[in-house]
């Protein structure tokens, strides 16, 4: 059989295009901001992870320009060989200090961070226990590790303990969870995860890609939010969200970071992040440190949206904590209905994310909306009025 048969038989994108419902790869013609020009028309941006709105901050852009001029466009090699700049080391020091850990390590992307950390730390004979709604990069990291992966029902601590009881006492155990879940916007039950980890001798890793700049004192993330920084063994995150750049990181004890740096294939064999990306991440981190009010503003606007959508009759998923995260999913459930609603929103001038399998279960398709500290209430009111008109009429 021809290896490419599956490619020739894959017709879903073309079917959606023919129906005028294809929602992906829209052409952005302006900066990533609260309002954008997309395919020639103004759209209110409710589909970005630019939580602090720093992609358009003058000092962030200037930092990237200066780094490009000083260091060139790239390092042309891995961190292991010729690809370590003073900027990389500076960013690692500042991240470790900000997040309250001994050491940090920078990866090329957030996705490769999870691949590299998990596959280095866990191996054959070990067990990795994951929340079912963890990010795809965690799942792929588990596969690359060759460890035994077990999945517990989303935020179900009884199910987590049930799985922990099945692990042989001789096996190493890593519990991995998103801090803020990327699709639902809810927060993990970290206190209970840490409690169970202590009982069963497990280590804990938190993917804080959507927690940095969102939760915790001054945006320090999920572990800080729960007062558990010292109890979480590994924290990872990305620069492509709150830090307005590209790349990923881990923070942990010096021994763990050193081990990962010398044993992680995605770290050893990937080129380092370009100078401009590193410099913009440093500047964004410094802004976060000096302007913690950005996090407070983001939280207030996120709650404003949750209250506003609910008042307008739009059904949303709660965040699962007393903190309103900037990810607000609107459940559409049905596969085709999700494409129809997103297309109507797009035509009305609101850009959102269409989320269908494999990103969600088949019966839990949703429209993912996300918000920035730089959104204004008039813009959000305009967007919510459009959402209510489209979503409520389509129910």
Question: Mind telling me the catalytic residues?
Answer: 182, 210, 241
Cα separation, 344 vs 32, in Å, equals 22
Please report the DSSP string for 2-61 in residue order. -TTHHHHT--HHHHHHHTT---S-PPB-S-SSSEEEETTEEEEE-S---TT-GGG-HHHH
Classify residue 328 by burial, with Cβ atoms within 10 Å: 0-12, 13-18, 19+.
buried
Closest CA to 179 of 152, 212, 147: 212
Which residue bears the tokens 């976060």? 288
| C-alpha angle 355-110-357 in degrees, rounded to nearest 5 | 20
Task: Report helix, strand and coil shares of the chain as percent, to nearest 5.
Answer: 45, 15, 40
How many CB atoms neighbour CB 254 within 10 A?
A: 12
Q: Classify strands 103-107 and 248-252 as parallel, antiparallel or unpaired.
A: antiparallel
As beta bridge partners, residue 237 has 249
Closest CA to 92 of 259, 244, 219, 273: 273
Which residue bears the tokens 């179900």? 156
Contact partners, residue 10, CB within 8 Å, separation at least 6: none
Closest CA to 196 of 147, 236, 234, 155: 155
* Range list of H helices, 241-334: 254-263, 265-268, 275-290, 293-311
């Amino acid at each position: 059989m021809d290896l490419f048969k599956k490619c020739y038989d894959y017709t879903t994108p073309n079917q959606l295009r023919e129906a005028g419902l294809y929602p992906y790869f829209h052409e952005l013609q302006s900066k990533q901001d609260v309002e954008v020009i997309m395919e020639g028309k103004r759209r209110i941006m409710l589909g970005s992870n630019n939580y602090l709105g720093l992609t358009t901050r003058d000092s962030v852009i200037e930092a990237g320009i200066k780094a490009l001029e000083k260091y060139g466009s790239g390092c042309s090699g891995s961190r292991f060989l010729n690809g370590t700049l003073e900027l990389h080391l500076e960013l690692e020091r500042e991240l470790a200090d900000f997040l309250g850990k001994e050491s940090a390590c920078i990866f090329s992307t957030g996705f490769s961070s999870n691949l590299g950390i998990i596959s280095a730390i866990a191996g054959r004979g070990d067990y990795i226990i994951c929340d079912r709604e963890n990010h795809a990069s965690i799942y792929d990291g588990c596969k690359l590790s060759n460890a035994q992966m077990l999945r517990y029902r989303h935020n179900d601590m009884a199910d987590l303990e049930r799985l922990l009881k099945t692990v042989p006492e001789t096996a190493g155990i890593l519990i991995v969870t998103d801090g803020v879940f990327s699709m639902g916007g809810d927060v993990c039950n970290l206190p209970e995860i840490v409690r169970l980890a202590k009982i069963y001798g497990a280590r804990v890793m938190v993917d804080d890609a959507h927690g940095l700049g969102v939760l915790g004192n001054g945006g320090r993330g999920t572990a800080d939010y729960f007062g558990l920084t010292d109890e979480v063994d590994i924290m990872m995150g990305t620069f492509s969200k709150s830090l307005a750049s590209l790349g990923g990181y881990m923070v942990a004890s010096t021994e763990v970071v050193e081990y990962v740096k010398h044993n992680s294939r995605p770290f050893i064999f990937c080129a380092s992040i370009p100078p401009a990306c590193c410099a913009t991440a440093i500047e964004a981190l410094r802004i976060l440190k000096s302007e913690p009010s950005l996090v407070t503003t983001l939280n207030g606007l996120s709650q404003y949206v949750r209250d506003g959508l609910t008042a307008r009759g739009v059904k949303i998923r709660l965040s699962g904590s007393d903190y309103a995260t900037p990810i607000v999913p609107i459940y559409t459930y049905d596969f085709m209905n999700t494409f129809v609603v997103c297309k109507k929103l797009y035509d009305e001038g609101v850009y959102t994310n269409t989320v269908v399998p494999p990103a969600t279960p088949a019966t839990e398709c949703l429209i993912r909306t996300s918000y920035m500290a730089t959104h204004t209430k008039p813009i959000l009111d305009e967007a919510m009025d459009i959402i209510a008109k489209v979503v409520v009429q389509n129910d």
